[in-house]
Amino acid sequence: MNFKQLIQACEQAHNYLQGTAVSTVNQSLTIRNWLFGNYIVEYEQNGEDRAKYGDQLLVILAKDFKSKGIKGLSKRNLHYFCQFYLMYPVAGQLVATMNLPKQIVQTLSAQSEIMQKKTDKTEVDPKLLISRLSFSHIIELMGEKDSMKRIFYEVQAIKGNWSVRELKRQMESLLYERTGLSTDKNGLILDTNKNAEPSTPEGIMRDPYIFEFVGLEPKEKFAESDLEAALINNLQVFLLELGKGFCFESRQKRLTIDGEYYYVDLVFYHRILKCHILIDLKTRKFKHIDAGQMNFYLNYYRDNEIAEGDNPPVGIVLCTDKKSSTVKYATGSLDNQLFVSRYQVQLPTAKELEEFIKRDIKMLGAG
């Protein structure tokens, strides 16, 4: 063996074993999500005390999981798991072949017909589907309600080894319809795959679902710049030191909406105002799109995150550049004048926040 062969041997071993490890983690995550969907749907249909929770079941489950330190089990994700179970019942075939602990198998609602169901000729083999596609791929696919289109994209994503981004791009560009209209269908698919972004082990391991499943945080999604990261660090401390009721809840809070990931820089719960405070920081001047983005976050929080008795969330957009600092509040649909007056007293003033930004930029050497 010469030096070149040594490098080649190590590289081949690394690539093979890394790919195997990623595939194993991804398959375990996807099977777990299917099992959760099975348990929840079964409970919703037959649970002895299901009436006690009603349509708040997923909200309550999400809070309980969070209290136990289990990441990635938001109400929205639990809904995806149920949808996954209902849309891909044949995944039960793969579950049936796995050597799962007895206590897990006993809880399944469908050792039964779903577990024994044979794959339809038009369906992708569940083992192939789950071993080759990540759960983020599956979320994109579940957005397609036409089963034939969905199967087409499943097949092409597997054959072309598409990344999630590539799958989404091809679905949005109507590849299914364009293929149907093309006389040279194979040629179109070959051209598509030639220019496609491939799925890689590194790409899959950066998937937020994988990070949360293995107990990590998707840090690569965090700050847009070192300056922003430093400002967020100090802002978090600054607000907590104000002592006006801020309770830290999350940094880089991930919101999953229609398969897209969005990140809110800081989220606090204000124990006096009884509402969430969402803070987004931009290292530039304020633009009108920033207010729209914050309003988007606030609408999501109103529908998915607030508990009974909470007031509507409040959004604060902080924008800064080297020449000026601007603070904008986006208070959504707050029309309760008493609450508005209370939050004006309890939250830091625009002047306080502007001074904080200017002071920190100067301290960080950016001014």
**Do residues 197 and 260 share a domain?**
no
Which tens digit of pLDDT belongs to each residue from 224-259?
A: 455 667 777 778 777 877 777 888 888 888 888 887
Q: 317 and 254 in one domain?
A: yes
Domain end: 181, 208, 235, which one?
Answer: 208
Neighbours of 265 (CB within 10 A): 25
Q: How far apart are CA 162 and CA 172, in angstroms?
A: 14
pLDDT tens-digit map of 289-324: 888 888 899 999 988 888 888 988 988 888 876 567
Chosen domain end from 178, 208, 238? 208
Q: How far apart are CA 155 and CA 326, in angstroms?
A: 50
List, as one string, the DSSP characters of 12-67. Answer: HHHHHHHHHHHHHHHHHHHHHHHHHHHHHHHHHHH-TTGGGTGGGHHHHHHHHHHH
226 shares a domain with 204: no
User: What does the pLDDT look like over 333-347, one tens digit per residue?
Assistant: 566 666 666 666 778
How many CB atoms neighbour CB 194 within 10 A?
A: 8
Q: Is the pLDDT of residue 180 over 70?
A: yes
Can you tell me the mean pLDDT for 59-79?
Answer: 87
Supply the range of the domain harboring residue 292: 222-363
Look at residue 284 and tell me whether its pLDDT is greater than 80: no
Q: What's the rounded Cα separation, in Å, for the pair 165 and 185? A: 22
- Residues 180 and 265 reside in one and the same domain: no
pTM: 0.63
Out of 176, 208, 240, pick the residue that ends a domain: 208
